[in-house]
Amino acid sequence: MTFPTLSSLLFRRPLVAPAAASTATSLTRRAFHNTPLKMSAKLKPAARVSGRRQDVWSIINEAAAASPKQPIVNMGQGFFGYNPPDFILNAAKQALDKVDCNQYSPTRGRPRLKQAISDAYAPHWGRKLNPDTEITITTGANEGMLSAFMAFIEEGDEVIIFEPFFDQYISNIEMPGGKIVYVPMHPPKEGGTKTLSAAEWTIDFDELERAITPKTKMLVLNTPHNPVGKVYSREELQKIADLCLKNQIIILSDEVYDRLFYVPFTRIATLSPEVEKITLTVGSAGKNFYATGWRVGWLMGPPDLIQYVAAAHTRICYSSVSPLQEACAIGFEQAEKENFWSTCVTDMQAKMRRFNAIWDELGLPYSEPEGGYFVMANLAKVTLPDGYPFPPHVADRQRDFKLAWFLIQELGVAAIPPSEFYTDENAHIVADYLRFAVCKDDKILEEAKERLRGLKKYIQQ
Ligand SMILES: Cc1ncc(COP(=O)(O)O)c(C=O)c1O
């Protein structure tokens, strides 16, 4: 299936003022809008946004809307089911009263936020980053990464990403003409029968080295990892860094879950001054402050890299939302005093434990997360009923899509099929897994568990 065509948007006639419109005209108008129009080839959308197969989010939303089990318990998408703490919310409200906070911010971000980031990261970085040259603020981590690709990728340059990947990387790399080279993370062999640490998802470093060519310009790393929950070890990071140094590859280290780690967390940029020189590190206020809708992110790295990311960001959206940058600055300034960072970890770990108790109860294994707020459960032991009526666009996907559809229809629980984050070739690797987001209220987690108990009759131990 493809996205709906843009024809209805492109061919909309000027509307008659509502007061003057007769019932007959509005009926005609409605009929007009519902009739697909043939679009002239000249007006067709660019390939980069058209003709993609239906994405996981719309399949899951469609399944949720069609399910008889309303309301659905949404454990799918990674947004928080609760608000940022008051000290951050109040900072946002007060920012709206300040004249300068309602106007353009400097293209590289508000000085107060860059200073606050420099101060907040210093204990992890071992030094204070220069807020003017080593930090640039972006419209969420996602636009920051788009800016990084726009800044460094020319047509035909290759970018290595690990599977499973955060889905936005794909179009962000393809837009400037980059060619993606995929290297799979391998789940533990016993993942279908045993609960094991997410650390057991591994990279085959020979496979990684074979993926490097003279055209490899960048490598994207994500730690703590979505959806696996792995925090790359220092040794693994060193091997990746050595390969990148040897082959002069820019590392884009997506560390948006950098305040949610349950084992020691190393930032690849801090391994050595040489590695720091080739690394761009990505952060997200959305993930740090439970505010994914605020769209504030940042990239940190050496001035030689950051200046071009900032230049691309200026072309893409000029500057990022001002009052929420101010609120994030205050968030960083006050977080330690409010004990916020340690509360984040304790609270999320408690949610993980609370939710994962259901897998232990059902005898279904999962990957024990080392960071982030996602858990991958393995449902290999769940038998889907023969002849279950899956719609065609689900029937022709991996088993994880069928599992997700089944859970929504039969139990009213939404989860994400992770094969969406793999190439077709490697999608089978996660055919038995589903990703659940635990950043939800405890009562939602309890409701999800109660519903998941309905799986018992489909499980073969
Ligand atoms: C791994 C990863 N990177 C980046 C992002 C995007 O972050 P932001 O909302 O700040 O754009 C997400 C959001 O889910 C993510 O999971």
pLDDT band at residue 401 under the 50/70/90 scheme: very high
CA 185 / ligand 1 centre spacing (Å): 19
CB 146 within 8 A of CB 175: yes
Q: Which residues fall within 8 angstroms of residue 95, CB to CB, at 6 or more apart?
A: 101, 322, 323, 324, 326, 327, 330
Residue in the structure block whose two tokens are 């290595």: 160
Looking at 122-208, which runs of residues are DSSP E strands? 135-138, 158-163, 179-186, 196-197, 202-203
What atom of ligand 1 comes closest to residue 372's alpha carbon? 16
The CATH class given to the 56-78+341-458 domain equals: alpha beta
Q: Give strand pairing partners of 375.
A: 436
Kindly list the protein residues whose Cβ atom lies closer than 6 A to any atom of ligand 1.
Answer: 78, 140-142, 166, 222, 226, 254, 256, 284, 286, 292, 297
DSSP letter at 349? H
31 half-sphere exposure, CB direction, 13 A CA radius: 6
Choose among 349, 376, 356: nearest CA to 435: 376
pTM score of the predicted model: 0.91
CA 327 / ligand 1 centre spacing (Å): 19
Instruction: Give span(s): CATH 3.90.1150.10, the chain.
Output: 56-78+341-458
- Asked if pLDDT for residue 448 goes beyond 60, the answer is yes
Domain covering 86-335, topology? Aspartate Aminotransferase; domain 2 (3.40.640)
Tens-place pLDDT, residues 351-367: 999 999 999 999 999 99
DSSP letter at 458? G
Q: Give strand pairing partners of 84.
A: none
Tens-place pLDDT, residues 231-265: 999 999 999 999 999 999 999 999 999 999 999 99
User: By CB neighbour count within 10 A (0-12 exposed, 13-18 middle, 19+ buried), where does 373 fall?
Assistant: buried
pLDDT score, position 461: 72
- Asked if pLDDT for residue 20 goes beyond 60, the answer is no
pLDDT score, position 3: 33
Instruction: Return phi, psi of residue 186, to 5°.
Output: -100, 125
Report the Cα 255 to chain-centroid distance in Å: 11
CA 407 / ligand 1 centre spacing (Å): 25
Instruction: Give span(s): CATH 3.40.640.10, the chain.
Output: 86-335
- Minimum mean pLDDT among 19-23, 274-278, 384-388, 434-438: which range? 19-23
Pairwise CA distance, residues 247 & 232, whole Å: 21
CA 356 / ligand 1 centre spacing (Å): 23
Tokens describing residue 163: 């599977």
Pairwise CA distance, residues 99 & 87, whole Å: 21
Pairwise CA distance, residues 361 & 402, whole Å: 23
